[in-house]
Amino acid sequence: MNVQSFPAPDYFLPLIPESVAIYHPVQTLSFFLSFPKYDQTADGAYGVNHRVVLDACCIVAQNTPGFLSTTSDPAQRVDRQTEALVGAAYHYFVVDSNHNLCNDQNYRLVSCFRDWTFPANIPAHWSHAKVLRARFSTASDGKMSELVKDDDQACIVTGYLENSGACGNAHLVPREEGDWFANNSMNHYNHRYLRSNPQDPANGLCLRRDLHASMDRKAVVFVPAHDQSCFVAYFISDSAVDLPTYFHARRIKLSDRVAPQFLYARFAYNVFDQIPSVLRRLPSPSRSTPSEFPEGDENGVFDSTLLPWVQKLEDLKADWLAKHPNIRQTSADDENPAEGSAKHRSDVPVYSAETTL
């Protein structure tokens, strides 16, 4: 079974690819998304699909559309016709409903899938004219896996036959996200819309075990092809080792059983894992305990004004020292540090300020 949209590559993608980092236009201390460069352009350069990055940024920016710029100046806007982003860094600017640049670019970002609200309408290029077939409407929860495998008959990416034992049913919206599923009324996209849970054939794909594991590791997603004629497998993390060489940007055989809304939800689910861990749960200085959130500071949503976290920690330290004047701060410039101080103790761990995905 040939499910490729392009011939198999005659080159191997780098195991440790370069990446494209996306920055907030106001608070630029840390990027908020990063993607590996797996798309090869005509001149041999590697990049990331422009539209995939825009879709990801829109999701993290609370479903707010926008555009990318090569600098923090919106005048350096990347042309919409640019297919691949080959630079090292870009800035995401949000626009209003009339597609005009918003005056206030100090926007907030959602850092957790469970705090993200599924949009009323997914982007047009994610929708496809498919009618969900009624023959799935009476299936029981326990039959989801069988229905998915029987309908797909093979891995939708590789073509491996379902009866080979190497394939299985993969949930797009994971079963453990049942609360999010119900809160966002995702049952509207089920074949059995009266049941508010992810156990529906519209939410499942038949995948080979290694690709199933790769999706669960947030490495691979399924996105619309450039011409919107089909969906393709797309790797947004370099954790999949050599799988991108064989399956990146490869056309999938997608049944009209599958709701595009669930493909979009899974795209978002995996995108949130690309946010640096230091930005996922930034502490607010006004919290008295880690579990308490001040008014206006939602769990899983970080205000961009908190991004310079190093400065925040310095401010907290200064406030504490001001309240305890009897405590003298030992600096690195002290000529005679006390014996046994943290500066000389081998049992005090040293932490780097650098963070990686």
Q: Are 236 and 274 in contact (CB under 8 A)?
A: yes
pLDDT at 44: 87
pLDDT > 60? residue 230: yes
pLDDT in tens, 14-70: 777 899 999 999 987 789 999 999 999 888 899 999 999 999 999 999 999 999 999
Which structure tokens are listed for 109? 């970002």
User: Which range (83-92, 112-121, 158-167, 304-313) has the least confidence?
Assistant: 304-313
Which structure tokens are listed for 175? 């079963």
In this prediction, residues 87-91 reach a mean pLDDT of 96
pLDDT at 307: 44
pLDDT > 70? residue 240: yes
More confident of the two residues 333 and 191: 191
Rounded CA separation 27/90 (Å): 13
- Domain assignments of the chain as residue spans, ordered by start: 135-259
pLDDT at 259: 94
Confidence grade of residue 195 (pLDDT, cut at 50, 70, 90)? confident
pLDDT at 133: 53
Q: Are 55 and 46 in contact (CB under 8 A)?
A: no
More confident of the two residues 106 and 318: 106
pLDDT at 355: 28
Helices 260-271, 50-60: inter-axial angle, 10-degree rounding: 80
pLDDT at 114: 95
Rounded CA separation 264/270 (Å): 10
pLDDT at 10: 54
Question: Which pTM value belongs to this model?
Answer: 0.76
- Closest C-alpha among 39, 71, 42, 69 to residue 52: 39
What is the DSSP-derived secondary structure letter of residue 174?
A: -
* Burial class (CB within 10 angstroms; exposed 0-12, middle 13-18, buried 19+) of 345: exposed
Rounded CA separation 197/34 (Å): 31
What is the DSSP-derived secondary structure letter of residue 289?
A: S
pLDDT > 70? residue 255: yes
pLDDT in tens, 308-326: 444 455 556 566 666 666 6
pLDDT at 327: 58
pLDDT at 5: 43
pLDDT in tens, 108-153: 899 999 999 999 999 999 986 354 555 565 555 558 889 999 999 9
Rounded CA separation 182/290 (Å): 27
pLDDT > 70? residue 303: no
In this prediction, residues 291-314 reach a mean pLDDT of 42
What is the DSSP-derived secondary structure letter of residue 354?
A: -
Mean pLDDT of the chain: 78
In angstroms, the Cα distances linking 277 to 3, 15, 31, 169 are 36, 22, 11, 30
pLDDT > 80? residue 11: no
pLDDT > 90? residue 188: yes
